[in-house]
Amino acid sequence: MMNTLISDAADSVCPICNGTGFVTTWQKDERGNLTEYARLCQCQDKEEQLKIKGTSDIPAEYENCTVHSFDTSLYNDSETAKKIKHAAGEYINHFQQFREQGKGLYFYSRAKGSGKTRLACSLGNAVIATNTMRVSFIKTVELLSMIKSTYNKKDAEITEKEIIDRIKRTPFLIIDDIGAEKPGEWVNGIFLSILDYRISHLLITVFTSNVSQSDLKLDERIIDRIVKMSIELHFPEESIRRKKANTECSELLKILGI
């Protein structure tokens, strides 16, 4: 999907710069001489944003999700949903301040399907669109199995160090489903190296989880860092996934005449 978008963008010629990537303007100096100035065309940013999106690993399901389209009417506890949506909107409005302080967010609910991953990806999409910021999405379980798969493989395409380096340096990182991994010393070591780097470089991390920060079964040093680098928001304990599935199902049952 994203690859098509990128090539579409590359194929169609920008009407502002005719595909040169630069716009030229003329300015008169004090002696009345005209000087030509070139600046980067706005399409260059859009292309950069599409490239970032294409390499962000944000799942296809959420690649077009926005904070604005987060539907609070789907929740029984719509008051809490509204507060969370508002907080996410304000986070983006005041992003520079959060960025300077290296503060991300931590979305959690014990209930599965409450919209945590959706909203986290919406924030990622927003900072790409407003700041052309590099974003990476990673599920903890997948990160760990990716690292594991590099062991015992001498000619692995990518080494453990390269995987960890990429994750730890990303300016805006979404760590999806933290707490779903099997805890242990190996896991602690990996998280510690990633989060320790991120905290000391004030890089933004947004977490989603089915457990609260204090209930994470990770080393205290890691939990301490997570608490420092993110603000915890408790999602409504209800499954929008289940609700949507039920609606879809009953519509299809109608077609089947049942």
Ligand X SMILES: Nc1ncnc2c1ncn2[C@@H]1O[C@H](COP(=O)(O)OP(=O)(O)OP(=O)(O)O)[C@@H](O)[C@H]1O
* Nearest to Zn ion of 14, 141 (CB atom): 14
The SS3 of residue 232 is: strand
Rounded to a whole number of angstroms, the minimum distance from the CB of residue 253 to Mg ion is: 27
125 binds ligand X (CB under 6 A): no
DSSP states of 117-130: HHHHHHHHHHHHHH
Q: Indicate the residue whose CB is closest to Mg ion.
A: 117
Residue 214: which residues within 8 A CB-CB, separation 6 or more? 223
List binders of Zn ion among 28-87 (CB under 5 A).
41, 43
Task: Answer with the entry of Mg ion, ligand X, Zn ion, none that 43 interacts with (C-beta below 5 to 8 A by kind).
Answer: Zn ion
114 binds ligand X (CB under 6 A): yes
Nearest to 226 by CA among 209, 210, 211, 205: 205
For residue 210, what are the CA distances in angstroms to 21, 109, 179? 45, 5, 7
Rounded to a whole number of angstroms, the minimum distance from the CB of residue 113 to ligand X is: 4
What amino acid is encoded at 66 in this protein? T
Rounded to a whole number of angstroms, the minimum distance from the CB of residue 49 to Zn ion is: 13
Task: Answer with the entry of ligand X, Mg ion, Zn ion, none that 146 interacts with (C-beta below 5 to 8 A by kind).
Answer: none
List binders of Mg ion among 104-123 (CB under 5 A).
117
The SS3 of residue 188 is: helix
Query: Around Cβ 204, how many Cβ atoms within 10 Å?
Result: 26
Rounded to a whole number of angstroms, the minimum distance from the CB of residue 118 to Mg ion is: 8
Q: Residues in the site for ligand X, rule: CB under 6 A? A: 70-71, 74, 112-118, 177, 208, 210, 240-241, 244
